[in-house]
Amino acid sequence: MRIDRIVAVLLQMLMAQHVSAIAFNTQDQNLIKEAASTTAYSMMRYYHGNETGGWPGAFTFSWWEGAALCNALLNYWHFTGDDTYNDELSIALQWQGGSNGDYLPQNFSQYAGNDDQVQWASAAMTAAEYKLPDRPSGFSWLALAQGVYNNQKNNPSGWDPSTCGGGIRWQKQPFQSGYTLRNAISNGGFFQLAARLALYTGDASYTDWAIKSYNWSESHGLVNNVTWKVNDSTDGANGCTTRDYTDWTYNYGVFINGCAYMYEFTKDQIWLDRLNGLLNKSWELFFTARTNYAASDAVCEIKDNCDRNGMLFKGLMVMWLANVALLVPSTYSTILSKLQSSASGAASTCTGLGNNTCGVRWYGGEWDGKIGMEEDISATNVFSVAMLPFVNKDTAKPVSSSTGGDSKSDPNAGQGQDTGNVVLAPITTGDKAGAGILTVVFVGAVIGAIVFMFTGA
């Protein structure tokens, strides 16, 4: 168990009295902004990429969580207008792009999965769509997204037709566990990326791959166009004949978002039908009366065993749903009600540690005892999108190159030789020792407080 988790468990023992939840009202934009600001600040306390010896955008324990953090910061800025973290966000997004502009930096490329890589591409694409200015030098946001698209479609480490007739592999390296799997988030992520590139650039060739990847996912059991169930994965080792039927919010969300972009670009009824089918299935699975219609990954929340990844999934889901509501107005009212019930539920449970710490579950009206960056990222996402009624629907809608988007395009991005990113100086032994001393002092203080609480003075 990492030291921050140990400290969190010890801190939970200090909660001896009731504290109020985050002040929140879906009709009060100032309270919504304050809630989002509170959790954004909390999640950024875990980020050290802007410190000497750090890696901008990266967390050594989980590379893709840097992309989740960047997505949350983009979402926060876009809906609240607070640009406090934009400089750090911009540096992080470009730094992790690698020297080849395909989000395979040298420090992490040997164990990056296709799902990890496409999450970074999604963040870069969002930066372009929300008009975060390209950096003065280096790859543009659009080019970084195009680099990932080219890398995944042109290499068997991504789309591999040698087994199952194609599909995006989960992992990129044969030595990685899960290399033979084709999972929903990797294939849905690629589908979504292709759809978003089509809309932004106006280049219909991207839709060819969006259609190809969606059809492959449907024909190989990841998406069911009758029941609208999205299965987690299938295995190339047995010809993609078996299924992992687990329901996760972000697997549905990634296909939902892709369908919305395809409908916006093509106006083809088939994409609206698919969008509505997947939305209705999501309401049935993840926004239920049991949780007062707040989003929930019940598969792990009921058993209280969500891992770091699982804690982030519904935060991505609500982020994507806000975009869908703006892209496809017929979905707006229903999606807004789900986002508002989720935000209200989350706020009512952010009562931890006397400082409005948020946990995993967004229902029940009380803190569930969990604490960490992942919980803060998801809370920031849901509070940010609760601003949806207060933004201009036309200007908040993701832009394209024909509606004001100005991120520079490079259709051939990511197809050179990747030599990796510049590696920052590593953290020194002295730095580690200093951090260790601070940790020991802090844990000691917490333990001392616990002893005092139970023994008295």
pLDDT in tens, 343-376: 999 999 999 998 899 999 999 999 999 999 999 9
User: Residues 74-131: pLDDT tens digits?
Assistant: 999 999 999 999 999 999 999 999 999 999 998 787 778 999 999 999 999 999 999 9
pLDDT at 161: 96
Of residues 172 and 422, the one with the higher pLDDT is 172
pLDDT at 54: 86
Per-chain mean pLDDT for the chain: 89
Position 3 confidence tier, pLDDT thresholds 50, 70, 90: low
- Model confidence at 249: pLDDT above 70: yes
Q: Mean pLDDT over residues 140-165, rounded?
A: 97
- Model confidence at 51: pLDDT above 70: yes
Domains of the chain: 3-455 (1.50.10.20)
pLDDT at 108: 81
User: Residues 252-289: pLDDT tens digits?
Assistant: 999 999 999 999 999 999 999 999 999 999 999 999 99
Across the chain, which distance is largest between two alpha carbons, in Å?
A: 73
**pTM of the shown model:** 0.88
